[in-house]
Structure 1
Amino acid sequence: MELNESYWTDRYYSNQLGWDIGYPSPAITEFMDKVKDKNAKILIPGCGNAYEASYLWKKGFKNVYLLDFSAVPLNKFSEENPDFPKSQLWNINFFDAEGKFDYIIEQTFFCALSPELREDYAEKMLELLKPEGQLVGLLFNIPLFDGHPPFGGRREEYEKLFAQYFEIIKMETAYNSIPERQGSELFIKMKIKTPKQNLVSQNQY
């Protein structure tokens, strides 16, 4: 199974949208409500219907960028938010994205990628974040599926993966998950390691 643009577009047309909760994730909106800088540059990869983006836009965040492999959700978002700049809607492969961001929001994107791309995901996040930028959001802390998305995982494997590149500030069970996902999501907050932290990590091996 190739998880390409056609695969995800077909999911939208057939209304197979199990990841879509229909409103902004409380864990993400609660975090972003504490961000005072309305000029912060924000990327939401694998954005889908991007309820969080609508929320942020209405809160005054104007440097929000949405990225999705399929044009379907981006077109829908544009119709529902006609004042949102079309130049900030990216219908591209995440791994082709360019720029530097203060915040990258993870919301059911990581679990949509084939597990063999998780190392590439971490490296790309490292590339896209500003030196003081943060990767924030939610990861599933349950097995889920092996042959198709969503692909699950466990905290231990996430820690091993991300600790190579990031200082893990927070990775804990989200207390404010939606009811259907209570106890099955981790809230994450990470930032790029400093050169000194990287040196310490290398010396541990």
Structure 2
Amino acid sequence: MDNSESSYWENRYQNQQTGWDLGEISSPLKAYIDQLEDKSIKILIPGAGNSYEAEYLFLNGFENVYAADFAASPLQNIKNRLPNFPENQLLHSDFFKLEDQFDLILEQTFFCALPKSFRSAYADKMQQLLLPEGKLVGILFDDELPGDNPPFGGSKKEYLSYFNPLFDILTIETAYNSIPPRKNRELFIRLQPKIKS
């Protein structure tokens, strides 16, 4: 089954084949969120999955949070855990068809789930979805992860080839606070769209 199709991901959730799911918010993203002061900002979490990040944000007063996923099951899981989470902010959608703009986009295991051939389009779409002062923040694997199925890895050099033309690179460095199994295998990124001339 093609992992660029929603049915692939729906089946993974239905069969509980979700080894990427930490069961809690990722520690680098928690540390980043904890220093945010403006709780009115509009936030997107693409490829959200069960999105403990969306849950953490919402429970900490960030009400303008949107979780998008190709599969319906994880969005329902969010709704089950957070009955007050606004229905219209759970987006059952193809990321590449989203049309809105956001102050902040959080990347957590979405990039590595996409086929490698989608990476350039991912960078283009992220730039489109961000407001001029917006930021793309998150974690990318700093590990090649060979194999024909996701997660797909990569390197800092490869990632910069996609992001440098479109973004100012504010941070791209080894995460200091990864969970032990991912220690020294994750890059923390913080990118801002380049001003279009």
Whole-angstrom CA distance in 2 between matches of 1:132 and 1:174 = 23
User: Deviations 1:69-102 (Å, cap 9, x if unpaired)?
Assistant: 0000000110110000000000010001111100
- By how many angstroms is 1:34 displaced? 1.2
1:110 matched to 2:111? The reply is: yes
**1:191 counterpart = 2:164:** no
Instruction: For 1:134, give the aligned amino acid.
Output: K
Match of 2:54 in 1: 53
The secondary structure found in structure 1 opposite 2:20 is coil
SS at match of 1:119: helix
Q: Deviations over 1:130-169 (max 9, x none)?
A: 0000000000000113311000000111111100100010
Match of 2:10 in 1: 9
- Tell me what 1:21 maps to: 22
* AA in 2 matched with 1:142: D
Equivalent position SS for 1:2: coil
CA RMSD, Structure 1 to Structure 2 (Å): 0.9
TM-score, normalising length from structure 2?
0.97
1:178 matched to which residue of 2? 179
Provide the rounded CA distance (Å) in 1 between the counterparts of 2:14 and 2:88. Answer: 24
How many residues are aligned here? 196
* Equivalent runs, 1:82-121 vs 2, <5 Å: 82-121=83-122
- The separation in 1 between residues aligned to 2:33 and 2:145, in whole angstroms, is 28
Give 5+ residue unaligned stretches, structure 1: 197-205
Letter of the 1:137 partner, please give it: G
In structure 1, distance between residues paired with 2:99 and 2:45: 13
Q: Which runs of 4+ in 1 moved over 2 A?
A: none
1:134 and 2:132 aligned: no
The answer to whether the aligner puts 1:169 opposite 2:165 as a matched pair is no
Letter in 2 for 1:68: D
> Which residue of the partner structure matches residue 78 of structure 2?
77
Distance 1:146 1:26 in 2: 26
Please give the TM-score of this superposition, normalised by the length of structure 1.
0.94
